[in-house]
């Protein structure tokens, strides 16, 4: 089949790698792609958000399957747009996309279908928001202030004191820092704990989790520094054993699927449940309706099943009943970011050492790179993802960090503890992943 992946980041490169390994996939196109995806997929350089151009391209090239990478394409209705074409789209429709594009909708959805989550309030007036924030601070010692709409990963402020909470609320509701995305807010009980990401394939009838993963939001070692789009990830998660996965299926994934069905959503794609381990058990912090970045780089490196076939069967409402097939061991992805990230990013810095990293056995996914005058240079905040596999998590982590150290560019930023500690503040070391932790 002919597959088009939409987007140009590290996640899209990892999707292309996994689709390239799929026997079912004969032709791969990347719109617009990046210098890394161009090694295996044909780059077609237009903005996939230009839906007129996209529809024409898909028709003309007789694309069988379209895989959008980012939430913005889904929120703009890419699946609805192509619904009448002879092309399968591995993504939910715009209505179902509200599970990610409206945090208020998602919180209320979880309440309706009994999915465990932190206590929350939806507010759109200053006085009400301040009152609630005060209550949350005194009851829980902190409050998460979340913009309702899509805010490019910048819409959440964690406040442990009144001043921070008040400022965040004011910036969103009065100063309109996030435009309309911040007209409404979700205030949430603050919970400190380890977070895990569950990516699950959905065909409308079944929900099939991939290996559990953890990503690291903080810029610096020890989970310190500012929040980023993600500085690394690993899979599977040692403490997320069979029993925990069963609990996740029963208490989170199945009720979510029942909700999707009851709301009449057309959801054929991937659901990402961001969970936190709290004293009350696992709670859902957020849903996304697309693959996570950089979780995808780690998780798909371990997938042995044919991803193209899985995606197409999900689109047709018939995911195969057999369990997915995974490589043994673990995968760790270390992100290399450019100078200034996350506040800004540095462009045009020459990148060296890619072959040295690959010779060390690592996979390198491109995110913010471009070729200028025949030279690979930085072109964004997150530049590359370096993923290594190993028989256990610690050995995968050693390999990934060692390979990542071989890549050099001016101002490079990377963490040295991905896969070696958990992702909460004050996280302790994590043990090796054994086969007993495999997800069936
Ligand atoms: N890794 C977090 C995300 O993709 O939203």
Ligand 1 atom at minimal distance to the Cα of residue 291:
4
Structural domain boundaries in the chain: 2-93, 125-183
List pLDDT tens digits, range 166-178. Answer: 999 999 999 999 9
pLDDT at 375 over 80: yes
How much of the chain exceeds pLDDT 90, in percent? 94
- CB of residue 293 inside a 6 A radius of ligand 1: yes
How much of the chain exceeds pLDDT 70, in percent? 98
List pLDDT tens digits, range 64-76. Answer: 999 999 999 999 9
Nearest alpha carbon, ligand 1 atom 3: 292
Listed residue (187, 191, 193, 189) closest to 223, CA to CA: 193
Nearest alpha carbon, ligand 1 atom 4: 292
CATH topology of domain 2-93: Rossmann fold (3.40.50)
pLDDT at 426 over 80: no
Which residues, 6+ apart, have CB-to-CB distance to 403 below 8 Å? Answer: 356, 357, 358, 360, 361, 362, 386, 388
- CB of residue 385 inside a 6 A radius of ligand 1: no
List pLDDT tens digits, range 383-420. Answer: 999 999 999 999 999 999 999 999 999 999 999 999 99
Nearest alpha carbon, ligand 1 atom 5: 292
Could you give the 3-state DSSP secondary structure of residue 163? helix
Nearest alpha carbon, ligand 1 atom 2: 292
CB atoms within 10 A of CB 305: 17
Bridge pairing between strands 214-215 and 207-209: unpaired
Greatest CA separation for the chain = 60
- CB of residue 288 inside a 6 A radius of ligand 1: yes
pTM beyond 0.85:
yes
Identify the residue whose tokens are 């890394």: 36
pLDDT of residue 439: 39
pLDDT of residue 305: 98
Tokens in use for 322? Answer: 């057999």
Q: Which of 69, 150, 293 to mutate to test the pocket of ligand 1 (most atoms within 8 A of CB)?
A: 293
Q: Answer for the pair 209, 439: CB distance below 8 angstroms, yes or no.
A: yes
Considering the four listed CATH numbers 3.30.1360, 2.40.128, 3.90.320, 3.30.1490, the one that applies to the domain covering 125-183 is 3.30.1490
Q: How far is the CA of 177 from the centre of ligand 1 (A)?
A: 21
Q: Is 20 exposed, middle or buried (0-12, 13-18, 19+ CB in 10 A)?
A: middle
pLDDT band at 154 (very low <50, low <70, confident <90, very high): confident
Listed residue (307, 228, 285, 224) closest to 15, CA to CA: 307
Identify the residue whose tokens are 């370096």: 386
pLDDT band at 62 (very low <50, low <70, confident <90, very high): very high
């Amino acid at each position: 089949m002919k597959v088009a992946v939409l987007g140009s980041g590290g996640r899209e490169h990892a999707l292309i790698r996994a689709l390239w390994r799929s026997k079912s996939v004969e032709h791969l196109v990347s719109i617009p792609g990046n210098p890394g995806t161009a090694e295996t997929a044909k780059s077609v350089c237009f903005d996939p958000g230009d839906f007129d151009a996209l529809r024409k391209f898909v028709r003309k090239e007789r694309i069988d399957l379209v895989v959008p990478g980012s939430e913005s394409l889904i929120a703009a209705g890419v699946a609805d747009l192509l619904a009448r074409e002879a092309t399968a789209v591995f993504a939910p429709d715009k209505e179902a996309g509200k599970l990610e594009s409206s945090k208020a909708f998602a919180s209320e959805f979880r309440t309706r279908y009994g999915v465990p989550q932190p206590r929350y309030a939806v507010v759109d007036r200053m006085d009400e928001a301040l009152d609630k924030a005060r209550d949350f601070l005194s009851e829980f010692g902190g409050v998460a202030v979340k913009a309702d709409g899509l805010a490019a990963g910048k819409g959440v402020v964690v406040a442990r004191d009144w001043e921070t909470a008040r400022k965040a609320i004011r910036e969103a509701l009065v100063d309109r820092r996030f435009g309309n995305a911040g007209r409404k807010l979700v205030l949430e009980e603050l919970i400190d704990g380890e977070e895990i990401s569950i990516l699950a394939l959905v065909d409308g009838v079944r929900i099939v989790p991939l290996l559990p993963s953890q990503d690291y939001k903080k810029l610096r070692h020890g989970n310190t520094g500012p929040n980023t789009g993600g500085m690394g990830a690993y899979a599977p998660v040692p403490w997320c054993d069979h029993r925990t996965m069963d609990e996740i299926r029963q208490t989170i994934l199945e009720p979510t699927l029942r909700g999707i069905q009851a709301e009449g959503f057309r959801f054929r794609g991937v659901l990402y449940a961001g969970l936190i381990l709290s004293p009350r058990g696992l709670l859902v912090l957020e849903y996304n309706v697309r693959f996570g970045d950089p979780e995808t780089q780690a998780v798909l490196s371990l997938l042995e099943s044919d991803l193209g076939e899985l995606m197409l069967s999900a689109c047709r409402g018939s995911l195969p009943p057999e369990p997915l097939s995974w490589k043994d061991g673990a995968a760790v992805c270390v992100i290399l970011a450019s100078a200034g990230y996350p506040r800004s990013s540095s462009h045009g810095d020459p990148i060296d050492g890619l072959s040295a990293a690959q010779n060390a056995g690592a996979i390198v996914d491109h995110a913010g790179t471009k070729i200028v005058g025949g030279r690979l240079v930085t072109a964004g905040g997150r530049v590359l993802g370096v993923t290594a596999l190993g028989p256990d998590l610690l050995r995968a982590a050693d390999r990934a960090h060692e390979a990542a150290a071989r890549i050099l560019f001016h101002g490079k930023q990377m963490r040295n503890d991905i896969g070696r500690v958990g992702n909460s503040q004050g996280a302790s070391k994590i043990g090796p992943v054994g086969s007993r932790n495999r997800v069936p």
